[in-house]
Amino acid sequence: MDRLDNTIRPYAWGSTTAIPTLLGTEPTGEPQAEMWMGAHPGAPSRTDRGTLAQIVDADPEKELGPASVAKFGPRLPFLLKLLAAGAPLSLQVHPDLAQAKEGYEDEERRGVPLDAPHRNYKDANHKPELVCALTEFDGLCGFRAPAGTADLLDGLGVASLKPYVDLLRAHPEDAALREVLTAILTADPEEMSRTVTEAAAACDRLGGAYAPYADIAHHYPGDPGVLAAMLLNHVRLQPGEALFLGAGIPHAYLNGLGVEIMANSDNVLRCGLTPKHVDVPELLRIVRFEAGDPGILRPEASPEGEEVYDTPIDEFRLSRYVLPEDTAAHDLTLATPQILLCTAGAVRVGPHDLTPGTSVFVPADEKTEVSGSGTLFRATVLA
């Protein structure tokens, strides 16, 4: 098995303190948004044998196991991250597998460069993802019932929001949500900026349920994504709770530290809260206009002490072990590849002593024993 040396991404929305606090290092004053663990070509983890991408490429069947290679091909199907949000991320959705393949092939056929700012599809894969809170963690996930959003917007007392309020009280609900999101994203920019500014001031004044949207507006003044965000459920996760984000579900992370795992893809369509390209027609093709509960996940414990976050896809499987004081050697050997990440305490994995924020890659079928006291996250696949 290989101890991982992982890249930390300095995206502007990142917290300056959360990842350093976990790692026990001094903050640099710069944002530290994400720490990537995996073989993604954008920032593959480093080991004594080379990058994890090089290791997998050299012998996929040995590193990943025959079952994983047969199901997902000769690549690690997931990317594991520490995610530390100090400010809201862009409001976004991800395509399903068929949409991703279609979109990627279309842009390839039209000769859109991969690095073009208006390119939507960087690959032909879908990007389901799961985030598990390590601290209190705020996010937006899925559409709130339109009637509830109508009441929320109506309570702001902003006259220019009345057309949206009336639309949201119309039926059917999916058509109402589609019409309102379309209207927000295609409105005259100057008029929308004035509406958002007035709505933000009201959110500031009212507080309570409006407070998260007031904070978003402080970070993105005048952005139509502020109103788009108000269509969504606000969720506050407690440590150990998680959210699964499937295809077409609009979402954004707002604040907090978590463990995130996703299929190995860069495909993102943005709805707002960003200076980047927003392709409204393609976005509307991908979004699922369905209201509902965001569905907070809590882990299901097995007799062996593994706590599993159940999700409906196979590219990744996230679980954790909370090891009590002086846990005796515990066998974690699998026929699939694993990344093991310590987030609390001190855990020994094979020959490696892990402290918070450190991780190892374990090839398929390699004997794996853990001991010690702490919290260990396991990322693998269902093959």
Active site positions, annotated = 270
Q: How far apart are alpha carbons 353 and 345 in whole angstroms?
A: 11
- Of all helices (H) and strands (E), which one includes residue 184? helix 173-186
- Please state the length of the chain: 383
Q: Which two tokens stand for residue 170?
A: 């119309």
86: three-class secondary structure by DSSP: coil
Burial class from Cβ neighbours inside 10 Å (0-12, 13-18, 19+) for residue 373 reads middle
Amino acid letter, residue 177: L
End-to-end CA distance of the chain: 20
Contacts of 66 (CB under 8 A, 6+ apart): none
**In this structure, how many other beta carbons lie within 10 angstroms of the beta carbon of residue 319?**
20
Q: How far is CA 118 from the centre of its chain?
A: 22
Confirm if 175 and 146 have CB atoms less than 8 A apart: no
Question: Which DSSP category does 100 fall into?
Answer: H
Q: Which residue has the tokens 């990317």?
A: 79
Q: How many CB atoms lie within 10 A of CB 167?
A: 18
Q: Could you give the CA distance from residue 102 to residue 174 in angstroms, rounded to a whole number?
A: 24
CA distance 250 to 233: 10
Compute the distance between CA of residue 47 and CA of residue 105 in angstroms, rounded to an integer: 34
CA 199 to chain centre: 28
The tokens describing 347, both together, are 């855990």
